[in-house]
Amino acid sequence: MSTLQEVGDRESWRCWLCDEPVDPDMSVNDSRGPSIDSINMAKKGKGKGGVERLAHRACNTKKGAVKPVVPWPDSLFVVDPAPIVDTVEQLRRKGGRAAVARCPAKSDAEDASEWLLDRLSRLEPEIQFTTRVDAGGGGFLLVLEA
């Protein structure tokens, strides 16, 4: 089990869920204060370690009640965006590729691709992701590959 300082330093003091900065000096009892989220513990079974990630106390607590959601930013023009956490979990288990969004213009798809790869580099740093933009049906499909 790691200390809060070790996990925070490794995660560059950013919440793995909302991707916002976490203040290491804030009280751990404050909703925006730091906490360690031990993810995958239940999935891996007893006796096996999970991955420790840094999260705001509120993000970590909310995740206990509802499945975590990493939102697509409103600044991106994406249609039918896939849920990022579910897609990453699927690709982690099975590998391969998954369509994650449709975009009306190639530049929109390229912007979404750049944002997604940057976000995933912090959300799931152990996996090397790539994206592909496929033209078709008068639009562009953004495909994520693991």
Give the pLDDT confidence score for residue 88 in this predicted structure. Answer: 92
Encoded amino acid at 88, one letter: V
pLDDT more than 90, % of the chain: 52
Is the pLDDT at 46 greater than 70? The verdict is no
Is the pLDDT at 5 greater than 50? The verdict is yes
3-state secondary structure of 32: coil
Q: What does the buried/exposed string (b/e) look like for 65-86 if buried means 16 or more CB atoms within 10 Å of the residue's CB?
A: eeebebebeeebebeebbbbbe
pTM to 2 decimal places: 0.75
> Distance between terminal CA atoms of the chain?
28
Confidence of residue 25 (pLDDT cuts 50, 70, 90): very high
Chain-centre distance for alpha carbon 99:
16
Cβ(34)–Cβ(4) below 8 Å: yes
Q: 69-119 pLDDT, tens per residue?
A: 788 999 999 999 999 989 999 998 999 999 999 999 999 999 999 999 999
Closest by CA position to 143, among listed 122, 121, 104, 117: 117
Q: 130-145 pLDDT, tens per residue?
A: 999 999 888 999 999 9
